């Protein structure tokens, strides 16, 4: 496969863009109009294998729909498709199996170690449970994802040996009740992650969706980095990849539109607290470690404080396990 074309247009005046040699990273490592097809990618695999991992916690409503968009690639581009069940108590596992995925629990992935809660733990264990040279992650709460999500994400990894992490980016609608706001989604991304990243790691300000759950990486990278707990996992992986390989090791690909189950604001606050903890840690800034206090409105007009503690317990690189 030829190196895919880059199409991110410039014109962001006033932004201190990172120079990547002669060309800016946003030109050389951003695929705004990816044009490769599955046959191109199969030819580019060259003996390498691709695993797709769907982390899932109680996603019975959507998991089968996500699998249905990826299962047709099994045996060609995709060599294995697993759902890493993060402790679901609903019918996620049954539905995932019926749709054509292999379901692996956290305990099965690494039997000798009791599982911790959170998404980071599920992804970390999935590295041990899969064998692909390239691993693509797709959230299992997506609604009508495009079947080209995985082919688009793995393209740069198969084409360029210097790239180790490819983040998807997209338009993000926000659904509230019966209404849908086309560009209203990605609230934590836009209000917290991108501003804070720009302040502390300005070169990563060019990454459109630092938090998005659709990304792919080489096993070389993913087995050799630590995994942050909970929802800190994406920001941790992004910064750790940057610190190891620089921007040259990262790519991003336009996946079109991504809809998912939009969480209520109070759940996103807890997610944000976890992300802040990992971001500060990766930037060498001390965090108080305090849990987030939220004020729950009561029927009588008052509020009750409720604290959510931070998830702790960074996981070491999988390839450092005995």
Ligand X SMILES: O=c1ccn([C@@H]2O[C@H](COP(=O)(O)OP(=O)(O)O[C@H]3O[C@H](CO)[C@@H](O)[C@H](O)[C@H]3O)[C@@H](O)[C@H]2O)c(=O)[nH]1
Ligand Y SMILES: O=C(O)[C@H](O)COP(=O)(O)O
Give contact residues for ligand X (rule: CB under 6 A): 55-57, 59, 86, 117-119, 122, 139-141, 211-213, 231, 234, 260, 263
Residue 240 binding target from ligand X, ligand Y, none, CB below 5 to 8 Å by type: none
Question: 175 or 263: whose CB is closer to ligand X?
Answer: 263
Residue 115 binding target from ligand Y, ligand X, none, CB below 5 to 8 Å by type: none
Instruction: Provide the pairing of β-strand 50-56 with 165-171.
Output: unpaired
- Per CB under 6 A, the list member of 38, 116, 268, 280 interacting with ligand Y is 268
- Per CB under 6 A, the list member of 262, 274, 277, 282 interacting with ligand Y is 262
User: What crossing angle do the helices spanning 265-282 and 233-245 adopt, rounded to 10°?
Assistant: 30
Determine the Cα–Cα distance for residues 29 and 17; give it in Å rounded to an integer: 13
Positive or negative: CA dihedral 309, 314, 318, 321:
negative
Q: Which residue's CB atom is positioned nearest to ligand Y?
A: 185
The contact mask relative to ligand Y for 213-252 (x = CB under 6 A, - = no) is: ----------------------------------------
- Is 315 a binding residue for ligand Y by CB under 6 A? The answer is no
Q: How far apart are the first and last CA of the chain?
A: 37
Question: 123 or 129: whose CB is closer to ligand Y?
Answer: 123
What is the DSSP code string of 208-245? S-SS-S-EEEEHHHHTSS-B-SGGGHHHHHHHHHHHHH
Residue 207 binding target from ligand Y, ligand X, none, CB below 5 to 8 Å by type: none
- Shortest Å, Cβ 13 to ligand X: 29
Determine the Cα–Cα distance for residues 23 and 114; give it in Å rounded to an integer: 47
Determine the Cα–Cα distance for residues 30 and 32; give it in Å rounded to an integer: 6
- Is 168 a binding residue for ligand Y by CB under 6 A? The answer is no
Residue 185 binding target from ligand X, ligand Y, none, CB below 5 to 8 Å by type: ligand Y
Coarse DSSP helix, strand, coil percentages of the chain, rounded to the nearest 5 percent: 35, 20, 40
Positive or negative: CA dihedral 36, 40, 45, 46:
negative
Question: 26 or 259: whose CB is closer to ligand X?
Answer: 259
Helix, strand or coil, per DSSP, at residue 129:
helix
- Shortest Å, Cβ 310 to ligand Y: 18
Question: 276 or 318: whose CB is closer to ligand Y?
Answer: 276
Structure tokens that stand for 168 in this block: 């998807």
- Residues in 170-199 at the binding interface with ligand Y, rule: CB under 6 A: 172, 174, 185-189
Residues 215/218/220/224 CA torsion (nearest 10 deg):
10
Count of positions on this chain that bind ligand Y (CB under 6 A)? 11
Question: 50 or 253: whose CB is closer to ligand Y?
Answer: 253
Report the interface residues with ligand Y, using CB under 6 A.
172, 174, 185-189, 211, 262-263, 268
């Amino acid at each position: 496969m030829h190196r895919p074309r880059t199409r991110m247009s410039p014109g962001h005046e006033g932004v201190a863009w990172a120079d990547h040699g002669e060309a800016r990273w946003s030109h050389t490592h951003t695929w705004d109009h990816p044009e490769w097809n599955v046959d191109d990618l199969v030819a580019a695999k060259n003996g390498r294998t691709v695993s797709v991992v769907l982390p899932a916690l109680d996603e019975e409503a959507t998991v089968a729909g996500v699998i249905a968009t990826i299962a047709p690639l099994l045996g060609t581009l995709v060599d294995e498709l697993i759902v890493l069940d993060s402790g679901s108590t609903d019918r996620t596992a049954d539905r995932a199996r019926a749709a054509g995925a292999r379901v692996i629990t956290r305990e099965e992935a690494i039997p000798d170690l009791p599982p911790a809660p959170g998404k980071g733990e599920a992804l970390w264990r999935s590295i041990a449970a899969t064998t692909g040279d390239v691993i693509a992650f797709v959230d299992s709460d997506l609604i009508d994802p495009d079947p080209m999500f995985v082919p688009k994400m793995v393209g740069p990894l198969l084409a360029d040996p210097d790239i180790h992490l490819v983040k998807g980016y997209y338009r993000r609608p926000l659904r509230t009740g019966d209404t849908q706001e086309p560009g209203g989604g990605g609230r934590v991304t836009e209000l917290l992650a991108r501003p804070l990243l720009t302040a502390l790691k300005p070169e990563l300000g060019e990454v459109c969706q630092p938090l998005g759950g659709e990304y792919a990486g080489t096993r070389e990278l993913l087995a050799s980095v630590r995994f942050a707990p909970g929802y800190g996992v994406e920001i941790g992986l992004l910064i750790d990849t940057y610190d190891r390989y620089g921007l040259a090791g990262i790519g991003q690909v336009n996946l079109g539109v991504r809809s998912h189950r939009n969480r209520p604001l109070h759940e996103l606050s807890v997610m944000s607290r976890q992300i802040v903890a990992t971001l500060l840690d990766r930037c060498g800034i001390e965090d108080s470690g305090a849990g987030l206090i939220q004020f729950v409105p009561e029927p009588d007009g008052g509020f009750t404080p409720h604290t959510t503690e931070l998830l702790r317990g960074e996981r070491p690189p999988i390839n450092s396990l005995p």
